Copies of this chain bind each other. A is one copy, B any other.
Amino acid sequence: MAAPATEIEAAQPEVPAQGRTGRAGGVRARVRAELTAEIKEAARCQLAEVGAADLSLRAVARELGMVSSAVYRYFASRDELLTALIIDAYNALGAEAESADAGVARADLEGRFRAVGRAIRRWGLAHPYEYALIYGSPVPGYVAPDDTIAAASRTSLVLTGILADGHASALGAPGAELPEALRTELERLGTQLGGDVPPPLLARGLTVWMGMFGAVSFELFGQLHNVVDERDALFEFELDRWIGLLELR
């Protein structure tokens, strides 16, 4: 409590970093990996409490019983730490979507879509600050490095996978009043995604994609406050509509 001016902390000697003898690909590297993970974990914990804007490098250092400058051996800056958290968040959401998709019979397209949609919303509600980190307003000077895009596309890939299976199995893409510029771009995007989704169907996918995250964001960011309380019912209703639009029924 006393002793100001300098950084002190009752060290919690959990994993003292030298109780472990050598061997196995370098002790240093292993300890480093562990500490990196611990820092991220503590940061994630603090993120859930105070949000990204107030995430303090010094505070996570304090919680780990180390001094703030030591953290800079693992993350060159606060932004770099945040980037790591962003990638982790994308991966966590992506994994959630993937496992939800895998839990339903491949032929049950409607069931798969519904499961994935619910999983996305559920994850967002359970990790609001991590969701805000990836789908909220980007932090000011920050530009997402390309490392994030791979992690970011996992969730989208699950969604387009369902679309591709739907198109392959039978029904698919009727209407074709797609403006030329959009059409060619969606064609490129379709092949780039590897999937077999024709532009008109992919366009509907975009609508659903934006609508779905729009709905989750509205709920999480307080835009439905004093507007709709029956959020579960609303989302299920929206799910039905998206399923109808994608002709997954």
Contact = CB atoms under 8 A, between A and B. Distances in A.
A228 B136 contact: no
Copies in the complex: 2
Interface stretch (A97-105, A112-120, A212-220): A212-220
Given A53-B139, A137-B136, A210-B211, A179 B236 contact: yes
Contacts of A214: 210-215, 217-218
A108 to B, nearest CB: 21
Contacts of A225: 144
Interface in A81-140: 132-133, 135-140
Contacts of A207: 211, 238, 241
Contacts of A240: 177
A interface: dominant SS: helix
A139 B52 CA distance: 9
Contacts of A185: 228-230
A185 B159 CA distance: 31
Interface string A178-190: 1101100110010
Interface residues of A, number: 52
A178 B140 contact: no
A106 to B, nearest CB: 26
A221 interface: yes
A51 interface: yes
Interface in A205-249: 206-207, 210-215, 217-218, 220-223, 225-230, 233-234, 236-238, 240-241
10 contacts: A50-B141, A52-B137, A137-B137, A149-B226, A182-B230, A185-B229, A185-B230, A203-B237, A206-B228, A207-B238
Given A144-B225, A210-B214, 10 more contacts: A52-B137, A53-B53, A136-B136, A177-B240, A181-B233, A182-B233, A182-B234, A207-B241, A210-B218, A211-B214
